[in-house]
Structure formats: structure tokens, C-alpha cells
Structure 1
């Protein structure tokens, strides 16, 4: 029986970079040859959620949301647009533990394995650490360094903060970094006071956003004082209040994210064993290097 992977992301009519992570990770997974078919679909771009399953020829479809947290999009918008008879209780989550559920769409003859978002998967913790390594160009970064895991935060969705705190706690438990804090744009503790939360001279700031855009390239750098105008860029690191701030940009652009997508599908039962063909080295390396 053929298997397809459908990566669903937000997209944007205004930000051309919004769909880049989904496209890049889909391309990396296509090169691995692990699925018969891989497609992307978007809420704010084409191809749209609504028509996505109609374009898939495979009988079994693994739907992986490229979103940071559980909530409105993963529990209402995506299932509705894909015509899945889904209830949040189907995966009995505490806000960070959504796994997968198997459903049949009302308009196409397929079996859909609907997965929780990539942002709450345990493998995302490894991506955050990798992001810190990438921005500092130091595979051993940690000793003497503070790490800020940054999320949007919103009073409208408590799960938004839960996902950020979950990974901050997991990294803190590893005792790799001297300090680990969860900070937010729109709730306390706020990222604009980043230096108030750390004693370490070096602080790595990793925002849990899927794509680089207004928030990650302008709001957060300006809030932290890296620059007066994010459109003109900023130095990495930037010296602020006696600290070197290493700002990493959106987590979703990290190549290791493709591995999290793969893990989500594997958890739902996808056959992701590497085929005996060339072209899958990038994904295999990511899986081997994950903490």
C-alpha cells in the first residue's frame, strides 16, 4: 500500500519566506526516498488545506502540522479544511502530548493519520540545541552559556506557552547550559528584558517560530535592543548590558526540523526505513546526530 506525507503549514500572503521551511523540509524528505509521495499545503497560500487530500494519490496519508503548539489551527482549522471528523479528545493531550489519530476524510477514500504538531515533539528539544550550536558555530556550546527559548505567548491559547516551557524544562534537565529560561513576546517573562534573566556573559536566544518574518526579524531583535530597525539586520553576537546575545532566528529554518517531521510520521506508523538508494544522507545524518 502506498504512503504519502502531507506537511501542512500556515503560509502567508505577505511574507514570501513563510512557506520556505515547509518547502525545504519536504525537499529534504523527498531526497531521502522514504515516502511514495510528499506534498505541502498551506492556510494562507496555495496549494490550500482544503484541496490537499484530493491531490494525493496514495491510500495512506500522514499529515504533519508544521506548527509550534497545539490549539486553534491543529485542533480546528486543519481538521475542518481536510474534512476530518476530529475532536481534540481524540488524542487526549495535556497541551504538549498530542501524538496521532487515524481518521477517514468525508470526501476522499483514504486513511489519514493525523499527527500532533512538530513543535511539541520530544525531538524538537534536539533541534533547539542544534540551533544553539549553529548560531555559535560551536558543537560543544553550553558551559558558561545561558539559553533563552522564546515563544509568542498569548492569553488566547495557554498551550502556546506550554510548548515553550516544555522544551526549556527538558533542556534544563540535561545540565548542558548554565541557565535555561522560557521567555515570551506577549506575556511574562518577556524577551525584551532578556538580560535581566541571565547572569551568563553569553546568552543564546532561540525563537520557537516556524518561519522568519516580522516577529523574528523585527519585533524580537528590536525588543531585545539588538537594533533600532530589524529591517537593517543586526550583529551576531550583539553586546547588550554586559552580555553577548547570540540570536538564532526562527527554529523552523534549521535543517534538523525535517527529522522531526519524519519522527512524527514514524510515531503514527509510517514505514520510514531508508531505501537502499542514494540520496538520503542528510536525513540519516540528522537522525544519527540528534541528542
Structure 2
């Protein structure tokens, strides 16, 4: 038997924070690739600490539904799962290329394949592009259009910005969009000044957040000038400083993310059969 644990942050304050986690877990559950699929959270139930105890399978694949390698993926989740011998250096990562490591959770007698977060997987580049396609309604979006990959950013974790810039650079190299910039909420260059970083009339903003919440539905829309009051909503596209801004929802709400979770588990050794095709196919190629 093999099991999958989708580990996410969750929230005591935002009831929608866990919605993407349940949606992606359900999509994978329906494929039958795993005998068990378990959601687990830091701020909600079921909690990380109980995740392994609730499973019958002795072989478990844990995939963090987080954007960056950092405090939660390197400290909190391994500690709460009680992974024996864990150390962040086992990932041998520069902040964007964690793969997986196999450890024991001896107190529950399980072998755990602990994977890097979905946010640093190469396939996330394609998910970002898919969000741009969806919000514009144009599967060929790119020429004469600027793309802003928007992250939280923080001085406390350099890997937070690394993940955003990593995908921005990968998209830039494809030369599909006129311009591609990584912008942040809490560090420079700031998303508040988005129009100052683009010459393109049309700009697509894709927030690299797992769930829609306070930042993506309140802060960013008001800060970039989409609306004066988030409660009144905003047009798509919105006219701001002579540009048209197309604002996508959080990247984590994109249904294609279920495939990225499966990619992580498969790379760690899980037998996923044809599950990738049934959740919109293998997304590790050169573009969606």
C-alpha cells in the first residue's frame, strides 16, 4: 500500500485557505493512484502531527503544498511528522531544487518519502502560464503582453524570493511574453508600483500564493490600483496608469496543480500509473 499526504498551511481566519488543498487531494483521490490520500495542515485539522497515525499504508509520500523552501518545509513539517534523521541539507538544495529524501517515522512504523514543495517544481512554471491564459481567455497570450509573477517576499527567508524569480526567469527564457518581472509585496521591487516596471500596455499579474485570501483578494487589488475598496470588486481587465491589468487568482487554485503534486510523488518513487493524464497530463514539458 502507498499513501499520499498533501501538507498545507491552512488558516484559523480564512475558511477558504484549505479549499485548494481539498480540491487537489480529491482530484488525486479520484484517480485511484494511492490507496490513501490524506490532507494535513498546520493551522487546521487534521494536523501535521496526526497525519501519519491516521494511515494504514506503511509507505507514505509527503508533498508540501507550499510555494517556497523555508521554515515550514525545512523545520515545521519534518518535526511534526517526527522524521528520524531529518536535516535540510539532505535535500542538497540551493533553495529551488529540493527533490525528495526517504526517512523513517519510527514511532508509527512508516517509511516516508519527503518531497520538496510544489512551488519550486519546474512544472509550476507551466501552471503560472496557464493562469495567464485563463484570466485573459487567450491560450496564445504572450506577444506584446507583460507578465508579473507576484510573490510575498520577506527579509526573514531568502528562499521566498528565490522561488518567484526562478519561475519568472524560466518564463522569460521562453520569450513568449514581451516582458516578465518578479514583483513582491514585502520587498523590492514592489507590486504596488507594477506599472512602473512595464512598457507593455497589457500586463497579467499572477500571484504565487497557494490560496486566495487576505493578500490576494484585499491587499494586492487595492495596492496596485485595481479598486479603492476590495469589497466592491474590480474589472478584468482594469485600466491603471494607462495600462490594462489582468489580475489572476492565486496560482494554487489552478486545477493543474494536482498534476504537480503527482509529479513530486512520482519523482520520489510513487507508482502513479496513468493518474497524470487524468488530472490534465504531464506538465513538465516546455509549455502548456
Q: TM-score range by the shorter chain?
A: over 0.9
Per the alignment, do residues 92 and 287 of structure 1 end up closer, same or farther by CA in structure 2, a change over 3 Å counting?
closer
User: In 2, are the aligned partners of 1:33 and 1:274 still within 8 Å (CA)?
Assistant: no
Alignment of 1:66-105 (within 5 A): 66-85=65-84, 86-105=86-105
Task: State TM-score, norm by structure 2.
Answer: 0.97
The two structures, once aligned, show a CA RMSD in angstroms of: 1.4
Deviations 1:44-101 (A, max 9, x none): 0000000000001111100000000000000000000000131100111100011100
1:100-128 deviation per Cα after TM superposition (whole angstroms, max 9, x unaligned): 00000131111000000000000000000
Which residue in the other structure is 1:269 paired with?
A: 269
1:185 maps to 185
| Partner-residue secondary structure (3-state), 2:53 | helix
Task: Evaluate the alpha carbon distance shift between residue 287 and residue 160 of structure 1 in structure 2; reply closer, same or farther with a 3 A threshold.
Answer: closer
Whole-angstrom distance in 1 between the partners of 2:107 and 2:130: 41
Partner of 1:117: 117
Classify 1:174/1:239 alpha carbon distance in 2 versus 1 (closer, same or farther; 3 Å). same
Equivalent residues of 2:256, 2:280 under 8 A apart: no
In the other structure, the counterpart of 1:200 is 200
Unpaired stretches in structure 1, ≥5 consecutive residues: none
Aligned equivalents of 1:281 and 1:97: distance in 2?
24
* Shift in Å, 1:287: 4.5
Distance 1:284 1:219, change over 3 A: closer
Is the Cα–Cα contact under 8 Å of residues 191 and 220 in structure 1 kept in the other structure? yes
Distance, in Å, in 1 between the alignment partners of 2:71 and 2:136 is: 35
1:114 alignment partner, SS class: strand
| 1:227-259: CA deviation from partner (whole Å, max 9, x where unpaired) | 112122211110001110000021000000101
- Is 1:234 the equivalent of 2:230? no
Per the alignment, in what secondary structure is the counterpart of residue 52 of structure 2? Answer: helix
Cα distance in 2, alignment partners of residues 77 and 232 from structure 1: 37
The gaps in structure 2 that reach 5 residues or longer are none
1:1-291 equivalences under 5 Å are 2-85=1-84, 86-274=86-274, 282-285=278-281, 287=283, 291=288
Q: Secondary structure at the match of 1:13?
A: coil
CA distance in 1, matches of 2:257, 2:230: 25
Distance 2:273 2:200 in 1: 42
Q: If the length of structure 1 is used for normalisation, what is the TM-score?
A: 0.96
Q: Secondary structure at the match of 2:203?
A: strand
For each residue in 1:188-228, what CA deviation from the matched residue of structure 2 results, as whole angstroms up to 9, or x when unmatched? 00000000000001000000000000000001111101111
Q: Contact 1:256 / 1:286 at 8 angstroms: preserved in 2?
A: no
Distance across 1 between alignment mates of 2:284 and 2:151 = 27
> Partners in 2 of 1:252 and 1:282 — Cα distance?
19
Q: Residue 161 of structure 1 aligns to a residue in which SS?
A: helix
Q: Is the 8 A contact 1:21 1:210 kept in 2?
A: yes
